[in-house]
Chains A and B, each alone.
Chain A
Amino acid sequence: MCGIVGLFLKDKSLEPELGSMLSEMLVLLTDRGPDSAGIAIYGAAEKGRAKITIQSPAPSSDFPKLEADLSKEIGAKAKVTVKSTHAVIDVPTRNAEEARAAVLRLRPNVRIMGSGDVVEIYKEVGLPEAVVKRFDVQAMSGTHGIGHTRMATESAVTTMGAHPFSTGPDQCLVHNGSLSNHNNLRRELIRDGMSFETENDTEVAAAYLSSKIAHGMNLGEALESGLNDLDGFYTFVVGTKNGFGVVRDPIACKPAVLAETDRYVAFGSEYRALANLPGIADAKVWEPEPSTVYFWEH
């Protein structure tokens, strides 16, 4: 099972409601996956600033002095906004790479969920309703976002095994399905210099895409290439800085529904997730074709 959702807004007036709309969509799919949940929100870009989302198993000791410690370490003003087990670090873009390394040096227990100009990624073990509440996702505004509720099959139920998985700056991936060649592919990617946090199959798909992109492909080409190299069942939804994409494996047995109106493009594993969206009764609603990459960008 697993449930995935995505929402790409065309109408700017909906942007303040992105978090609440996406949260409701995800909560509606709770019974597709009760193990863990996660959401990636693409907010407004601030010129010259970058964001790093981190997670800590011990937020009360890791986070309180992080802002001062990190600012001193990188010699630039870092702003840390704590949300439960996660924190979003806001730094000047030119210091972002340095800040990523510095935060891991200063707080070895911390894990990086994702980074980029606009993305924030939150994920934890628990039901979608509890997870979106914990991070106050309903109050977040943004241009687009993706979400996932997990029924674990290929690896343990842990925070790091939850989706979305970061695939690069402002890029992330959610997955419904299971990959059957992830162990081999992981070994190949490790030889290629990639590193892994979990035994999870989707993390391998994310690393595969990152690796292809690092070798010069764009995301669309990397997804096309994945159709040949990733063996198993999948509906993937990917988030990028400017938009989101959908791709299903050639067998396409993992469900997927898209809806489009003048105001938004929405994705759900099931129609249920879309049923309360504004204007859904008059939306164009269809199932994405197998082996076909779909993309919407601002």
Chain B
Amino acid sequence: MNVTNVATTPAREVNYAPRVFDLATTPLRDLNQALHQIADGADEPAWEVLNPKGSHAVAAGVDQPITIEVRGSVGYYCGGMNSKGNITVHGSAGPGVGENMMSGSIVVKGDASQYAGATGRGGLLVIEGNASSRCGISMKGIDIVVCGNVGHMSAFMAQSGNLVVLGDAGDALGDSIYEARLFVRGNVKSLGADCIKKEMRPEHLAKLRELLDRAGVKGVKPEEFTRYGSARTLYNFNIDNADAY
């Protein structure tokens, strides 16, 4: 899990000079308050955050179609609840990046810690490095693309959406999964309860192609992945299992 310094990755091209917040000199609350106060239709599409140094809740609660470039690594809950925003973290992210994201996108150039995209309802979360344990736990419609590996208990109780893993998955993938679709290109250490390997039908290949394209992944074919999902045996209480409780 090597991480190179990606703080120098060039920004997306925008036609406006970004509004810059340097967290070395400006309190984090000022940044988040300014983001929350953007009025509908306001002409402030580009933002840049310097020196995050692992701060928590950077750009949480964004509710406008803006672009935010975060230059460095962030702590807990970066981009939490994001709606419509396009956030790029030029570094690594702490626990809960994009938690409960609604729409928009978050790209993490480095690694992500535990429970990336937890409970996410929509939008696209791309982790260009590895994600650790519980990636996509209880996901509810978000699409997550991890270019490296994911840790144990990923997609635990995942309800809907797609988790795409280009590398390997850790123990107990998809434990107690509902209707989310999991696509893994590498090895799966073990599957969790009620999670099984499934056939890859044309609609799955098409969806995967679309997700890889949106995530900017090149040189990887949908056919290289295996699909996993719910066996649906835990949906209803089975009296034969009563002894287990």
Contacts and interface: CB of A to CB of B under 8 A. Distances in A.
Interface in B95-117: 95, 110-111, 113-114
B233 to A, nearest CB: 25
B53 interface: yes
Contacts of B53: 272, 275-276
A285 B3 CA distance: 6
B114 A272 contact: no
A270 B5 CA distance: 18
Contacts of B2: 284, 286
B133 interface: yes
Contacts of A252: 114, 132-133, 151-152
B54 A270 contact: yes
Interface in B139-166: 151-152
Contacts of A276: 53
B97 to A, nearest CB: 12
B92 A285 contact: yes
Nearest to A273: B54
Interface in A252-288: 252-253, 255, 257, 270-276, 281-282, 284-287
Contact of B94 (A253, A271, A284, A286): A271
Contacts of A232: none
A282 B1 CA distance: 13
A57 interface: no
Nearest to A252: B133
A284 to B, nearest CB: 6
A290 interface: yes
B114 A271 contact: no
Contacts of A281: 5, 7
A271 B133 contact: no
B32 interface: no
Contact of A271 (B4, B73, B152): B73
Contacts of A253: 114, 133
B75 interface: yes
Given A255-B114, A271-B54, A271-B92, A284 B3 contact: yes
Contacts of B75: 270-272
Interface residues of A, number: 18
B55 interface: yes
Contact of B54 (A275, A282, A286): A275
Nearest to A287: B132
A275 B1 contact: no
A281 B4 CA distance: 8
Interface in B19-57: 53-55
* Interface hub of B2, B54, B76 (most chain A Cβ within 10 A): B54
Interface string A56-94: 000000000000000000000000000000000000000
Given A271-B73, A272-B53, A282 B5 contact: yes
Contacts of B113: 255, 257, 287
A290 B134 CA distance: 13
Nearest to B133: A252
Nearest to A268: B54
Contacts of A270: 54, 75-76, 94
A111 B2 CA distance: 44
Given A255-B95, A272-B54, A275-B54, A287 B5 contact: no
A69 B114 CA distance: 55
Contacts of A255: 94-95, 113-114
B102 to A, nearest CB: 25
A286 B5 contact: no
Interface string B59-94: 000000000000001011000000000000000101
A272 B5 contact: no
27 contacts: A252-B114, A255-B94, A255-B95, A255-B114, A257-B113, A270-B54, A270-B75, A270-B94, A271-B54, A271-B73, A272-B53, A272-B54, A273-B54, A275-B53, A275-B73, A276-B53, A282-B4, A284-B2, A285-B3, A285-B73, A285-B92, A285-B110, A285-B111, A286-B2, A287-B1, A290-B133, A290-B152
The 9 closest A-B pairs by CB, nearest first: A272-B54, A275-B53, A271-B54, A286-B1, A281-B5, A275-B54, A287-B132, A285-B3, A271-B73
Given A270-B75, A271-B94, A286-B3, 9 more contacts: A255-B94, A255-B114, A270-B94, A271-B73, A272-B55, A274-B54, A284-B3, A285-B3, A287-B132
